[in-house]
Structure 1
């Protein structure tokens, strides 16, 4: 999930959520060197300045570190502190510590030093007589608001803590009553992830929420330490669920049960919105849609989020359009859960091909004309026509071929298939938004379908069905449909 400028930000289209902002994390350490406009930084700092503070004290003091010489001194400070901290680890933990990237000094264009003014007069000392440390807490609130505002704008924020505060104060000639709270790095992220880098590289996973929350009188005693440790290691589960092609009445009872018992649901863009209404109220809803040919959530991020949520002890549903096992990249998600030791199950769904055929009352097989049904995808991981398609199988007149995701490559695919012997008059039906209220149907031949779709430019997911079985699509309650197919193909088939 990568945002390069505010225009690409999904929150402006109502797709974002506070939870997504929080999950996009603050610990960005890999920045592009592109400049950040001064007016954007000014806007973010003014937003952060609205943060709550004890007694309305506003104790934060922010220094924009622009001097290259000062920055170099602080980087040297970090390197010294990092080497000193490395001595606290041994074995594999030490090796991992030394491999981790723990700052982004090398590329981050914005450096901010945040101090807490311990002698702040603002607020008349309210709340500080009993808990003077709340001044520090107030500054942390401000940093949190800045972090969320930065993420919403597409910026990454890294909070450097491996640093000697006294040396930073000295380098910036800060007043003695100012206490360093954090050294912040801001910039456009080189890459974005839905899980923290420390967790992604195996430093330590997150633990369940329940291990940090209790009702009055229920907090664990020292004698409960063993039980708490067991709870720390408890795992949730992941269910890959097929949402079907779009019609909410086509989801299975097992899928409905999974949605109504889920703690978190990671759903794709293509999942019909009415199906999301089945999700249990209070469950976390996270849009992880992979938007074709546009900036979108990356598969490794989705894998990591599933694992992370399950490690929190949650019942996680990974909701996919159609059937998750058919061109849904389920294999990668299954592998990620298995590698992490996360319990996993799969709930199949009605495929888009099945939904489209049922909606059209078209049989995909015919004992006289199509004894084989094959599904192919029209693009590879680069978005190009796959090079390993069995073209002799596609040209086989005794097969029905369903082409998934064909929008960008259909013209090339049909051209190659015709060269390999596929009859250009082979009946072909394209369906956009199958089974949904805005479903569109294009009845044609394989030789003409690409041009017709290009001219119509339908929105939403499209699949193309090819084969002689489509010519024999009549049933008693679908006479009008049959006449349309016959007219489009200019042929009157014999009836069995």
Structure 2
């Protein structure tokens, strides 16, 4: 999950990435692509890092770009030896987990940088070093931090290798004796992106709350006190339904949440005009999840949501439609509750309601449909779920709404017909319900899969099945889409 995806649309107000977004975009990269980094980019990043602050303007860092394959291999061998030695400290499950946390970057990262501190640096004439000589090392750390941020902004990742023998590395690289080894850095294009550190993601160490590391001593009004006072964060999460797309379907409570939010984590399916209602200055974080495409991982989203709330922010988790209907709301609610983060849920108009309203058709009907059921057409693997109640789908007294059916619709209708559903039962596919580019396909259960496949519409699709749908008005839906397109400055697709 990143804030700077080149292939993902991000609203103009969310880009370029802010400093906070760069900081949250994880620094501890362990897996890299082998693609080379152009020399001009490396030079630009190193020159930016060289502008880092240092005590007394000492600039004590010395950067060695290690290009020799033999030396790289020797340092990697040293790392592996030290890693095995470190593993002996841990026992049982901790030892097993430690052995799984292997750094793969030595073989793939295109750039290797060894960082040293010149303890005899003449720059600055020793200013600040007389009382705290260790600040030379701190200055080098400032340089590495600047390099990391510059790398992140360029889309690169930085890995800091700490499990090596400093004396062995110093000898291998043949640097002056007065240079103190600070760290070995791997630089390259990340193979994967995460908002949470790998050690946290795999259960090595959970991140502790900010309040455990921050305290205040006294106050301006009362003078100094004897004990530091911890300041508790008061952040919270609101799980908000954005509706199917038409901004006018946003609820008043959802609007209030958007206009008071400090940070908004929004899904890819949220209609872009709705993002315009977010309070100016709020942090916008695209955590888009799309079926069958590379997307954010749910644990990453949970982690970021909780972290922002623990920092004292009002966080909105914005989802298309109603988050309580096939929106994985349960996982996010549980994550917040386990973390002790307050969470509120603001439901939204689900796409089935929006689509039916546009078509001027009731989903229930005293003569034809006394039951309404929502089902999903794909499971965790993207396949048709194995536990669908096919007898219920074939029930002539029910209206069935199928969410996320694009890839499995042909299989779904074939099985439903085999279980007794009349192939002539009305079926309507709606793509981008209630949006300017809404498309409506009125057909039958036996023919809807072929019709949808031939049209291959882009965007989210749902299927409505049942006798109550015989009264649908496709012309009215097209007129509504045209009116909305005129209001929003977009042209509707043909239906």
Task: Name the TM-score, length of structure 2 as normaliser.
Answer: 0.80
Task: Measure, in 1, the Cα distance between the counterparts of 2:206 and 2:100.
Answer: 9
Alignment of 1:27-426 (within 5 A): 27-29=28-30, 31=31, 35-37=34-36, 39-40=37-38, 43-51=41-49, 52-54=51-53, 59-64=61-66, 66=69, 67=71, 68-77=73-82, 82=86, 101=101, 109=109, 111-117=112-118, 125=123, 129-130=127-128, 139-148=140-149, 150-151=151-152, 155-161=156-162, 163=164, 165-186=166-187, 191-200=192-201, 201=203, 202-207=205-210, 211=214, 221=224, 223-225=226-228, 227-228=229-230, 231=231, 234=233, 236-426=235-425
Number of residue-to-residue matches in the alignment: 464
Runs (5+) with no aligned partner, structure 1: 485-496
Q: For 1:294 and 1:16, how far apart are their aligned partners in 2?
A: 24
Select between 359-368 and 309-318 the one with higher mean Cα deviation.
Answer: 309-318
SS of match in other structure, 1:50: helix
CA contact (8 A) 2:62 2:116 kept: yes
Closer, same or farther: CA 97–173 of 1 in aligned 2, 3 Å: farther
Mean alpha-carbon deviation: is it higher for 216-225 or for 69-78? 216-225
Larger CA deviation: 296-305 vs 187-196: 187-196
C-alpha offsets along residues 99-126 of structure 1, whole Å, 9 cap, x if unaligned?
Answer: 78485567554542112445567xxx46
How many angstroms apart in 2 are the aligned matches of 1:309 and 1:252? 24
C-alpha displacement of 1:276: 1.4
CA distance in 2, matches of 1:337, 1:153: 33
Q: Are the aligned partners of 1:246 and 1:271 in contact in 2 as well (CA < 8 Å)?
A: yes
Deviates more, 1:53-62 or 1:335-344: 53-62
Gaps of 5+ in 2: 480-495
Mapped to 2, the partners of 1:306 and 1:60 lie a distance apart of 39
Shift of 1:212: 7.5
How far, CA to CA, are the matches of 1:481 and 1:428 in structure 2? Answer: 17
Describe the SS at the equivalent of 1:310: helix
CA–CA distance in 2 between the matches of 1:175 and 1:218? 53
* Displacement of 1:454: 1.5
Q: Distance in 1 between the 2:372 and 2:175 partners?
A: 73
Q: Aligned partners of 1:40, 1:403: CA distance in 2, in Å?
A: 48
TM-score (norm 1): 0.80
Match of 1:488 in 2: none
- Cα distance change, pair 73–275 in 1 and its aligned pair in 2 (3 A): same
State the shift of 1:152 in Å.
5.7
1:267, distance to aligned residue in structure 2 (A): 0.6
1:391 CA drift (Å): 1.3
SS in 2 for 1:397: coil
Query: Once the 2 structures are TM-superposed, how far is the Cα of residue 129 of structure 1 from its aligned partner?
Result: 3.1
Q: Deviations over 1:448-489 (max 9, x none)?
A: 222222122211111111111011347xxx9x54999xxxxx
The whole-number CA distance in structure 2 between the counterparts of 1:215 and 1:439 is: 60
Distance 2:422 2:16 in 1: 47
Q: Which residue of 2 aligns with 1:472?
A: 471
Paired residue for 2:460?
461
Matches of 2:64 and 2:439, distance apart in 1: 57
Aligned equivalents of 1:10 and 1:244: distance in 2? 20
Partners of 2:125 and 2:430 in 1: how far apart? 65
- Provide, for residues 150-171 of structure 1, a one-character-per-residue CA deviation record: whole Å limited to 9, x for no partner: 4466654221345554443233
Q: Does residue 1:435 correspond to 2:440, yes or no? A: no
Who is 1:492 aligned against?
none
Q: Distance in 2 between matches of 1:15 and 1:263?
A: 16
User: 1:70: how far off?
Assistant: 3.5
* Alpha-carbon distance, 1:210 to partner: 10
1:36 to partner: Cα distance: 4.0
Q: What is the alpha-carbon distance in structure 2 between the residues aligned to residue 483 and residue 102 of structure 1?
A: 56
- Matched-pair contact (CA < 8 Å) for 1:269–1:287: yes
Asked if structure 1 preserves the Cα contact closer than 8 Å seen for 2:79 and 2:163, the reply is no
Q: Secondary structure at the match of 1:266?
A: strand
1:179 deviation in Å? Answer: 3.2
1:412 Cα deviation from its structure 2 partner: 1.6
When structure 1 is superposed on structure 2, of 378-387 and 99-108 the one drifting more is 99-108
Change (3 A) 1:406 1:120: same
The RMSD of aligned alpha carbons is: 4.0
State the shift of 1:22 in Å: 2.8
Distance 2:223 2:441 in 1: 64
Mapped to 2, the partners of 1:17 and 1:213 lie a distance apart of: 31
Return the offset for 1:337.
1.4
Three-state SS of the structure 1 residue aligned to 2:226 is helix
Give me the whole-angstrom Cα distance separating, in 1, the residues matched to 2:361 and 2:217. 57
- Output one character per residue of 1:128-152: Cα deviation in whole Å (capped at 9) or x when no partner: 7357877656644543354345446
